[in-house]
Amino acid sequence: MTGQLLEFLTIYGLPAAALLLAIGQAGVPIPTSLALLTLGALAANGDTELVSAFIWAVSGATLGDQAGFLAGRFVIQSAEGRSGFLGGLASKARAAEPKLERWGGSGVFLTRWLFTPLGPAINIASGITGLSWPRFTIWGVSGELVWVSIYIALGYSFGSNIETLSEILGNLSMALAMLALAAFLGWRLRQAVRTAQARTRKTRGGTP
């Protein structure tokens, strides 16, 4: 995979790298982290300029984020008020909007570079729940700057071992994403238990 990416990016250049990142951030399962590491390795070998690689990479990743966000927003606009799965999804998104307004920005930021497997889903969810476009964009671009900086720097420093490095980082990112999901489910379970306990106390208190 590394050799193929090196050959592909050497032939087609930075615009091709930006396109790969955009497609990956939009939700298509391609090795975007490996692509960033490869860009760093190419810069270290003098095959491309480091600053240009950084700019193209951030632009491509941001384009993919925006595509996911707009897809989510389109679901809201087309399905709100309708019956069926999409209508129910739109209703749930509206109900969750106050919560996302409180902590959605930080969630967008962290899923750009720390919990990267959750990134495409968060893009769509942000659009569905009505997170403001400027807020999404600011947090998204900030996170992409961190992600691109880290991975290109690692590729630049460890270019000869980028495939092994990519596998290690991918496993770590997936483990962190699963940990975050487990923490979220645990929090939801705790909230449900508290609600059930409150209802029980209320029922007992109202019993003559």
Distance (Å) of CA 5 to CA 54, 127, 190: 17, 32, 45
- If one counts the domains in the chain, the total is 1
Q: How would you class 146 by CB atoms within 10 Å of its CB: exposed for 0-12, middle for 13-18, buried for 19 or more?
A: middle
Domain assignment of residue 80, given as a range: 2-206
Condensed to tens digits (0 to 9), the pLDDT of residues 22-76 reads 999 988 888 888 888 888 888 888 889 999 999 999 999 999 999 989 988 887 6
Condensed to tens digits (0 to 9), the pLDDT of residues 81-133 reads 777 766 766 666 666 566 566 677 888 998 898 888 888 888 888 888 878 89
